[in-house]
Structure 1
């Protein structure tokens, strides 16, 4: 029996993974912003006789303060964490700033994963052999990092924000492994492939049509996409950092995993967080 934490765990791939782990006997804690969806997952689990092994934390992970609260609540629930699965993401065609002053996509897709990855090191280290699964797009060719405008204040574009988020998470994996590698926790950047559930988000008409076309062209269900994630949970890699496209390894020699860029991003992130 493992202790599994899943962000974005009430819809899409996150929900599919949470159900698989629950149904096989694991303890599962899901984090998502909608209390109604969380309550439905809890009720479903109780109907299956798994209510005592399933937990829900409602939280808006685009807020730094909410991430800090969630880290504390996870620690109150689990003394050890075998897998942290980071699925929460929300596409926005139009730029939005959170109540704490951060661009929403940057805050949810990158800052939250930074905070949770670093904040849960201790309970994961205690688990012995654990894995952080950052469900993103490692090694993607599209997009670039806007070093002088990380929050895309000038010329925001939803696709650019998403692609940059993938690049930022690549570097997060590199800097996390440099700081915490060798403690029995493997950091895994994993793209599950195109899935029929598509992207969650608020779209302009053109983007909505693109997303619908992507969903129609996808061949895999959320359950299919969750399968490779379960494999990693069951067999955490010994390496400090691994990048996978579905279940196929990606070379870390790619420029997306540059160590100097990773260190630079880490410093910038700490500076941004210090302003709060």
Structure 2
């Protein structure tokens, strides 16, 4: 897909990978909408884009995606702003080591890092802002081999809801890979599941400082800058996008075949059922319904 003149929406677009990708796609002539929690960061990024000049445009929508009600409001704003979305990039996510729940009763890491993506994508399909010509890029911890400890199941909702901290963060990453595959099958979207590896972003800012200091040396030599990831993003979208109804997975070395664990159709259906139950819990009867 040629990026110039395309409408792009990026969740988690005010920082890290999302912000770098927004600026890169704007430089290539896209009409970019970034979504983020911080008005200060969003306004600053828009100002940076204006100073750069050139082709493309960049706009900001403020929203805290820990709450699904805010996700729904953002979809309504996008309905008023754009006729359709060519490219949807999900970068939104947090990393917390403690137990935290939102006012809607959802574990916070899972709410931000996965459920918001599910709810938003589903709503955009229902409202016909996403269609079979659209590309969805889902950023997670996608990898050809999944460690045994990371192979988390979604067949029991009580277990899913009980996970917190690093385990909940892990289940959000697993859920995103399963969702990437199921979204293309159900909705005919072109989906890219992307695992960037270690990137120099602020995602660890809510971890205890001692823990951050302990793990930093393990990633020092393999860590990339967000701008490097953004360039790979643009290349994937322009020349390596899958056809409608398919999901392809990439990491920093290129395309890969996903682990058999995420290819299991029953496991993907179990995630879908759990996701809809949590969506219903968060939104009540305002949840979107789509096959």
Hey, what's the Cα distance between the residues in 1 that align with 2:134 and 2:248? Answer: 13
Alpha-carbon displacement from aligned partner over 1:24-43 (angstroms, at most 9, x marks no partner):
22111000000011111122
SS in 1 for 2:98: coil
Q: Which has the higher contact order (CA 8 A, sep 6+)?
A: 2
Give the CA RMSD over aligned residues.
2.1
SS in 1 for 2:190: strand
Aligned to 1:118: 122
2:174 aligned to which of 161, 167, 175: 167
In the alignment of these two chains, the number of paired residues is: 268
Q: Are 2:234 and 1:230 aligned?
A: yes
Aligned to 2:82: 78
Q: TM-score, normalised by structure 2?
A: 0.84
Hey, what's the Cα distance between the residues in 1 that align with 2:67 and 2:205? Answer: 17
Q: TM-score, normalised by structure 1?
A: 0.89
The more displaced of 204-213 and 33-42 is 204-213
Unmatched runs of 5 consecutive residues or more in structure 2: 285-291
CA offset at residue 261 of structure 1?
0.8
Change (3 A) 1:152 1:73: same
Aligned to 1:274: 280
Aligned to 1:152: 162
Aligned to 1:262: 268
Query: Would you say the 8 A contact 1:88–1:108 is kept in 2?
Result: yes
SS in 1 for 2:14: coil
Aligned to 1:241: 247
Hey, what's the Cα distance between the residues in 2 that align with 1:51 and 1:66? Answer: 31
Unmatched runs of 5 consecutive residues or more in structure 1: none
Alpha-carbon displacement from aligned partner over 1:119-160 (angstroms, at most 9, x marks no partner):
2232232xx63210001122451313254411335xx342x2
Change (3 A) 1:256 1:206: farther
Hey, what's the Cα distance between the residues in 2 that align with 1:273 and 1:91? Answer: 21
Hey, what's the Cα distance between the residues in 2 that align with 1:120 and 1:151? Answer: 25
Aligned to 1:69: 73
Query: Would you say the 8 A contact 1:196–1:216 is kept in 2?
Result: no
Change (3 A) 1:188 1:200: same
1:160-239 matches, cutoff 5 A: 160-181=167-188, 185-197=189-201, 199-214=203-218, 216-235=220-239, 236-238=241-243
SS in 2 for 1:188: strand
The more displaced of 231-240 and 101-110 is 231-240
Change (3 A) 1:146 1:255: closer
The more displaced of 171-180 and 140-149 is 140-149
CA offset at residue 94 of structure 1?
0.6
Hey, what's the Cα distance between the residues in 2 that align with 1:219 and 1:207? Answer: 17
Query: Would you say the 8 A contact 1:199–1:211 is kept in 2?
Result: no
